Chains A and B, each alone.
Chain A
Amino acid sequence: MKLHENEFIAEYAESKLAVAGALLFVIFILLALAPSIFSSQNPYDLRQLALKNSFLPPGSGFLLGTDGQGRDILSAILYGLRISLFVGVASTLLSVFIGLLAGLISGYCGGLIDTAIMRLADLQLSFPAILIALIIMALWGQGISKIIIAITVVNWVYYARTARGSVLAEKEKDYVQAAQAMGMRAPVIIIGEIMPNVLAPIIVIATVRIANAIILEATLSFLGLGVPITRPSLGALIANGYQILFSGYWWVSVFPGLVLMLVVLSINLVGDRLRDVMNPRLKR
């Protein structure tokens, strides 16, 4: 089927805004994959920096200006974008994996396992994400891997719940009972038969939660508890420029902030549209 004939895509594309969001997101991903193409320098390589270039306003040779160390803001943004996206996507993938597993097992097995997992999830859900992440970061220190773990821990619950709900709904359906009657073993049934049906709502949630993950990482970095300053994400860049904001060097914080906002906005646009298109209850 050609791309424009696919019904799903056609319906998605009815919202011009959502299409713009998808395009924007793809652009960001491409930029993040190869930042060196558009950046004039590698901002982490101290040899490329020159203090005489510090605090130059946008347009003066450097498109978006420079920061206190002479770092080109545009380059810093591109490299920071990569880190922000990496953390967001990696933690989401990881938490989807864990959550899916937990939810599938919980829903299919029922009983004590189910109660245990769900109680754990409830407990965790009654705690705000940022607190949990804070505690993890405060105890185990900083670093990209720790942040990814923290965000994963926060987010697995959503997927576990959704997966479990779907499994419970599907469990009663005929095709599952037929598979059981045929003697298929439980893991095979779960992965082969039930999971494909569970994936649709998970994909929708995951898309939106990538945005959340990115914001969470940015917030932690802004508070100084996130990625190390040597390889800053967008949030860290914003924090970097925060203090000097009031001295008039606004571009150091504002541009990374705008980019962060656009990234998250584009993801939310896509996620929203996906959810509307896939939501059966809003159709008649």
Chain B
Amino acid sequence: MLVYVLKRLLYAVAILIVISFLVFAIMYKAGDPTELLLPPDATHQDVVALKQYLGLDQPFHVQYWRFLTHAIHGDVGRSFIYGQPALQVVFERLPATLELASTAMLISIILGIPLGVIAAIKPQSFSSQGIMFFSLLGISIPVFWTGMVLVLVFSVILGVLPSSGRGALFYHTSLLTLDGIKHIIMPAITLALFQLALIIRLTRTGMLEVLMEDYIKLARAKGLPRRVVVFVHALKNTLIPVITIIGIQFGQLIAFAIVTETIFAWPGTGKLIIDSIQNLDRPVVVAYLLVVATIFVFINFIVDILYTFVDPRIRVK
């Protein structure tokens, strides 16, 4: 077991190194930032001096090595806009995004799995068809559209919810204050909708397939009550692949938060990256990519390990 964990850890680190390389290579190719940093009347000497100072005149692999060693110490440069270390800029806004993504994830799981199970047990019933149509809508509506409609209805027309910003915090979370909840509910639902629909469909399909298996038939042949067959025998088998997907989807949520944060002016990393791309604030873009990549790799790692606990077939022999 320990060997397996170590193997996955090494794999994760390797992926991170590859990603850092890719990020660096892309940024390298993206062009020369010196022009942005200097006033327009700078002389050629100034340009050369700056390049030397930033180490941009060195060959590629030297630059990459510098980048890597600095990055491990937490230094990926300073934001051109904010003047602070880029990583710090990202980390300041990360909790907001994580809170949004986690809330959305919770909503989609708590609602999604039961709805998916219901839709699978009686596939032809009215409520099932309703749930499935709802889930179809959910994956057909782009995130930004959901956000727009919610804002239109609840902020503009009804005026009951605020259309932007994060609410009052209590112990670093907006979920413990009424104001906070009012601010987070629309962005969270916007972000959660696609995920919710996905989970409903996955759970339903998975459960339908599981219910056709022989061992379910045998469970019925043993006279086990229906609820036991569904919620014990079938559900566990259904959830195993769903858990993997959910884990990976958390990364997607953080990414889609980009759109949601833009619409709701939620002060997270998503808004940051859009602004930084448009403002050509390279260090922040790099910092964001590295942080997000690390989160993804870490999540995949956790999901891998979790999987071995949940599915006895892959438990280490």
Interface positions of A (Cβ within 8 A of B): 17, 123, 125-131, 134-135, 138-139, 211, 215, 218-219, 222-225, 235, 238, 242, 245-246, 250, 253-254, 257, 260-261, 264-265, 268-269, 272, 281-282, 284
Main secondary structure of the interface of B (DSSP, over half): helix
- A135 touching B259 in the complex, CB below 8 Å, given contacts A126-B251, A261-B141, A282-B208: no
Most B CB within 10 A of own CB, among A135, A224, A238, A245: A135
Distance from A37 Cβ to chain B, minimum over Cβ atoms (Å): 26
Report the separation of the CA atoms of residues A116 and B136 in the bound assembly, to the nearest whole angstrom: 36
- A245 touching B140 in the complex, CB below 8 Å, given contacts A130-B256, A139-B29: no
Interface string of B123-153 (1 = CB under 8 A from A): 0000000000100110111111100110110
B252→A128 contact, CB < 8 A? yes
Q: Which residue of B lies closest to A235 (CB)?
A: B142
Using Cβ atoms and an 8 Å threshold, which residues of chain B touch A242? Answer: 148
Using Cβ atoms and an 8 Å threshold, which residues of chain B touch A134? Answer: 258, 273, 277
Using Cβ atoms and an 8 Å threshold, which residues of chain A touch B305? Answer: none
A128→B156 contact, CB < 8 A? no
Distance from A70 Cβ to chain B, minimum over Cβ atoms (Å): 23
Q: Name the segment of B2-10, B102-110, B230-238, B292-300 touching the other chain.
A: B292-300
- A282 touching B209 in the complex, CB below 8 Å, given contacts A215-B142, A246-B156: yes
Interface string of B84-128 (1 = CB under 8 A from A): 000000000000000000000000000000000000000000000
Q: Which residue of B lies closest to A257 (CB)?
A: B145
Using Cβ atoms and an 8 Å threshold, which residues of chain A touch B30? Answer: 139
Q: Give residues of chain B (10-32) contacting chain A, Cβ–Cβ below 8 Å.
A: 15, 18-19, 26, 29-30
Interface size class of B (residues with CB under 8 A): 35 or more
B248 in contact (CB, < 8 A): yes
Using Cβ atoms and an 8 Å threshold, which residues of chain A touch B285? Answer: 138
Most A CB within 10 A of own CB, among B26, B145, B148, B296: B145
Using Cβ atoms and an 8 Å threshold, which residues of chain B touch A223? Answer: 258-259, 262, 274
B212 in contact (CB, < 8 A): yes
B254 in contact (CB, < 8 A): yes
Using Cβ atoms and an 8 Å threshold, which residues of chain B touch A281? Answer: 209, 212
Ranked 10 nearest A-B pairs via Cβ: A128-B255, A264-B140, A265-B140, A128-B252, A138-B277, A215-B142, A222-B144, A130-B255, A131-B255, A257-B145
B278 in contact (CB, < 8 A): yes
A131→B292 contact, CB < 8 A? yes
Report the separation of the CA atoms of residues A250 and B152 in the bound assembly, to the nearest whole angstrom: 9
Report the separation of the CA atoms of residues A238 and B141 in the bound assembly, to the nearest whole angstrom: 13
Using Cβ atoms and an 8 Å threshold, which residues of chain A touch B143? Answer: 219
Q: Which residue of A lies closest to B149 (CB)?
A: A257
Q: Which residue of A lies closest to B259 (CB)?
A: A219
Using Cβ atoms and an 8 Å threshold, which residues of chain A touch B300? Answer: 126
Q: Which residue of B lies closest to A208 (CB)?
A: B139
Interface string of B271-290 (1 = CB under 8 A from A): 00110011000000100010
Using Cβ atoms and an 8 Å threshold, which residues of chain B touch A250? Answer: 152
A268→B136 contact, CB < 8 A? yes
Distance from B257 Cβ to chain A, minimum over Cβ atoms (Å): 10
Report the separation of the CA atoms of residues A278 and B266 in the bound assembly, to the nearest whole angstrom: 43
Using Cβ atoms and an 8 Å threshold, which residues of chain A touch B262? Answer: 223
Distance from B170 Cβ to chain A, minimum over Cβ atoms (Å): 30
A224→B278 contact, CB < 8 A? yes
Report the separation of the CA atoms of residues A283 and B64 in the bound assembly, to the nearest whole angstrom: 55
B148→A265 contact, CB < 8 A? no
Using Cβ atoms and an 8 Å threshold, which residues of chain A touch B274? Answer: 223
B18→A123 contact, CB < 8 A? yes
B256→A245 contact, CB < 8 A? no
Using Cβ atoms and an 8 Å threshold, which residues of chain B touch A219? Answer: 142-144, 259
Q: Which residue of A lies closest to B136 (CB)?
A: A268
Q: Which residue of B lies closest to A216 (CB)?
A: B142
- A126 touching B297 in the complex, CB below 8 Å, given contacts A135-B26, A219-B259, A282-B212: yes
Using Cβ atoms and an 8 Å threshold, which residues of chain A touch B144? Answer: 218-219, 222, 238
B142→A268 contact, CB < 8 A? no
Q: Give residues of chain B (179-230) contacting chain A, Cβ–Cβ below 8 Å.
A: 208-209, 212
| Given A139-B29, A219-B259, A265-B140, 11 more pairs with CB closer than 8 A | A123-B15, A128-B296, A130-B255, A134-B273, A139-B30, A222-B144, A238-B148, A245-B156, A246-B156, A272-B136, A282-B208
